[in-house]
Amino acid sequence: MTSCRPEDDTRIRFGRLYLDSFPEQNLQDRKFHNVSYEKLFTIPTTTDVFLYNPVAVFFDNKGYIYVIDDGVRKALRFSPTGEYLTTYGEDGDGKGPGEIVGIGDFGVVGDSMVYILDNVSYKVVFYSVDGILLKEEPWDVPPRRYQQTIAGRQYVNYTYGPTVLESRLDGEVNSLFSRSDLVNGENVEMGGPDGFLITSSENLLWIFNRHPLLLQYRSDGTLVYARTTVDYRDDFKEPGVEKLAMGARQAFRPVGRLYHVRSGSIEQNELFIQSINPSGTKLLSAIDVYDVISGDYKYSLPLPEDGPYSTTVQNGKMYLVKDSTVVVWKIN
């Protein structure tokens, strides 16, 4: 994982990424907790609401459930017991108020506001939890991922441009990860290392999709830690980009193993990350648990139904996206 470097270079190379110096990783083999599951309910709980292509589940601090339906480009809110409450997002071409064309990210601020990153129309749309449109914030450069803290700090991951990851608050902008942090400034995965963002208080956790890597930053850009996830092995291969010809246009797609997917959650200083084809097992998926403060791996959980399902853990429950439903299981 590390390589020799000049004495005046304090960065460590990980594949095509340069990172600030970080401590040696003490990785362990996976250790699965012996758990059982009790099926509680399935969302939607009635035939009055239908999910076309659910892809992720989020929560607020009161236990309300938010399901991203990529099939209709909307987010739906459900009670902690699965009753449908409201929908966020309007149909349209993205130019009108509340019109959503593509959902790149979603978040909940406290218990009063939610937001949707429309990474096709280049805007973030804010709603009250009851579904009232509050405001829209346009962006000149298309964000790939976006998260906002309760204090109003914005963390933005860009596909293109000199900055890959930055934080913003009251006009102050801090670059956390720039294009120069890539070896030779190369593009990785169609413009930069792809992954998903989770806020922990005012800090940011960045979990990579195609790197076995977990980073935590302070809001001023200081790297708290860079830790390999339990999937890291000596045979790690840097993901590449395949160029395709589609008619008269050139297209790109990432090539390489998928380690982690979009869902992730934090509860009581434990970070839950879904691993795809977890190393050392014959499973299609598992939930790995890390300490938020240190990034240390703690233990893993099998899924109640093994499969390539988007899965999230919160409030002692596992939320498994399967077909056009979200199945909720109690973890015993």
pLDDT score for 3: 44
| Distance (Å, whole) CA 325 – CA 143 | 29
| Distance (Å, whole) CA 193 – CA 308 | 22
78 CA to centre of own chain: 21
Q: What is the pLDDT along the chain (332 residues), one digit of tens a residue?
A: 444 444 445 678 887 788 876 666 667 789 999 999 999 999 999 989 999 999 999 999 899 999 999 999 999 999 999 999 999 999 989 899 999 999 999 999 988 899 999 999 999 999 999 999 999 999 988 899 999 999 999 999 998 888 899 999 998 999 999 888 887 666 544 556 789 999 999 999 999 998 999 999 998 888 899 999 999 988 888 887 777 776 767 777 778 889 998 778 999 999 999 999 999 899 999 999 999 999 999 999 999 999 989 999 999 999 999 999 999 999 99
pLDDT score for 55: 94
Are 183 and 18 within 8 A, CB to CB?
yes
pLDDT score for 74: 96
pTM for this entry:
0.91
The strand pairing partners of 305, in sequence order, are: none
Two structure tokens written together for 61: 């601090």
pLDDT score for 23: 66
Residue 277 zone, left/alpha/beta (φ > 0; ψ -120 to 50; rest): left
From residue 173, alpha-carbon distances to 20, 21, 221, 325 in Å are 20, 23, 10, 40
